[in-house]
Amino acid sequence: MGTSLAATSLLASPEIEKEIDRLTGTVVRPGNTVVLLPSGVQSYQKRWELLAGAKRTIHIVAFSVMRDDTSRRLRDVVREHLKAGVAVRFVLDDFSLYTTFAFGIIKDMEEAGAEVVVYNKTFRELLPVWSQDHRIKQIVRAIKFKQKRRFHEKYMIVDGRHVVLGGLNWGSKYAFGGIEPKAWRDSDVYLTGPVVGDIQKQFVRDFYLYSAMNRDEVRRPLGFPLDCYQAEAEKGERELRKNGDSAVFPDLEPAGNTRVRYVPHKPYDEGRLKLTEAYLRMFRAARRNIFWGCHGIRPPRLVADTLADAVRRGVEVRLITNSRRSARTLVVAGLLGWMYWESRNHYHWLLEQGIRIFEWQKPGAFHSKNLVIDGEVASVGSYNVAAGSTFHHTESNVIVYGREFASQVEAQFEKDLLDCIEIRKNDAIGAAPRPSVDPYLRRLHERNLLVEPALRTPKVQKDLEAGHIKYM
């Protein structure tokens, strides 16, 4: 829960709120309750409670579903609800299912009556048209693009009234966070109130949009936006409303006094970078501190420069990420060590700018993505401190206005720091990248061009104008 900000708060000033309205196409909803769920144990306790009470609909989106007892328990709960007439729908990332081998669990739920839609099918449009030149080059390009265009969101909506949203996927390594040392440290929030309607509307749009995408037999170019399927998405939503499905779109009365903005981030679906631009604008408005966590800090130069500019204004910037040890528990041993060492490649530059870095020391990975600015505004969701979230992956975050909730997120950040070791400049010297691999000497990705010019830093703008760009 929380309270409204004082009128003197820069981050919640009408001018900045109006700017973020425009940049994201979203609005701040008053009258909500927001409960921080700072561990897997707390999040899953709320998830099982909500699932047990589901009467009409269960909508779940996730980047990954593990093949373990926690996901099998979800399968069993879904089966029982389907027998009772509850409508169950999923949106999942397709590529991730190939890394977790959870196809059997998903298939069991589908056969019981659950509707499952996957995003960006792994082998769809993977091979180039064979009449084109440079076939091997095109194949490599297509594989890289498939890897970048991922559905990274994590939330659950029950009966159109209750939402759990954040960084947790489905699996035991998330569910036992807070009680088992090797489980992951992650966060969710529990939401009720009018903002739930925004999240539900986005789910319905995505469900029908990606369904249409999967049925389409037309060969599309890499990176095409999904506006060609918009009419089908709108048709699906109209059908639900016409049927009077109050469990999907119930009337949502005020449930508290917290102001919340839901921001869906759909870089390839819409050709926009909503959360990226919202974050860049909020970083520019910061006056005291920016605290942010992520499993691997690999900010692109646009984000890194903006954080460095904040430090020069006197803002304290602290980032939490994984140590070499804890990063090994990430997917495929941290992609065989790459995640940690790529983060280390960024350390030297970030530390030189005065940005403080803290490495997580517990054996299980740090996976929480909480952001809090000036103790006034907090954001919880799936957006990482990395180029993937900045430019490529779909994400879902809530931005919560109010010192009460922000203070809870900040207190959790301070608690997490107790399990971290700060990295000093001397610590990073040995890991300083050679100039040939320095991430900030690389050409800028073409998707920097999607960012509003007013939000680009002078160095980034200069490089873009000079054509120092890597095109896909």
- For residue 164, give both structure tokens: 């759990």
Collapsing DSSP to helix, strand or coil, 309 comes out as helix
* Higher-pLDDT residue of 195, 244: 195
Give pTM, 2 decimals. 0.94
Q: Tens of pLDDT along 263-307?
A: 999 999 999 999 999 999 999 999 999 999 999 999 999 999 999
Examine domains 39-186+195-242 and 263-470 and report if their fold is the same. yes
CA 24 to chain CA centroid, Å, is 15
Mean of pLDDT values over 363-371: 96
Q: Which own/partner contact pairs does 448-452 have at CB distance under 8 Å and 24+ positions apart?
A: 448/300, 448/302, 448/391, 450/267, 450/271, 450/272, 450/273, 450/391, 451/273, 451/276, 451/277, 451/280, 451/302, 452/23, 452/277
Q: What 3 state SS string does 383-397 have?
A: CCCEHHHHHHCEEEE
pLDDT score for 126:
65
Is the sign of the CA dihedral 379, 65, 79, 205 positive or negative?
positive
pLDDT score for 220:
76
* CATH code, residues 263-470: 3.30.870.10
Collapsing DSSP to helix, strand or coil, 80 comes out as helix
DSSP β-ladder status, 57-62 and 371-373? unpaired
Q: Tens of pLDDT along 132-169?
A: 555 677 777 777 777 889 999 999 999 999 999 999 99
In the numeric block, the tokens 């931005």 are attached to 399
Q: What confidence tier does 9 reach under pLDDT thresholds 50, 70, 90? A: low
* Higher-pLDDT residue of 282, 12: 282
Single out the residue of 291, 295, 327, 331 nearest to residue 310, CA to CA.
Answer: 291
Single out the residue of 305, 274, 267, 345 nearest to residue 444, CA to CA.
Answer: 305
Domain segments of the chain as ranges: 39-186+195-242, 263-470
Mean of pLDDT values over 423-427: 84
Q: What confidence tier does 6 reach under pLDDT thresholds 50, 70, 90? A: very low
**CATH H-level, domain 39-186+195-242: superfamily:** Endonuclease Chain A (3.30.870.10)
Looking at the chain, the whole-number percentage of residues with pLDDT higher than 90 is 75
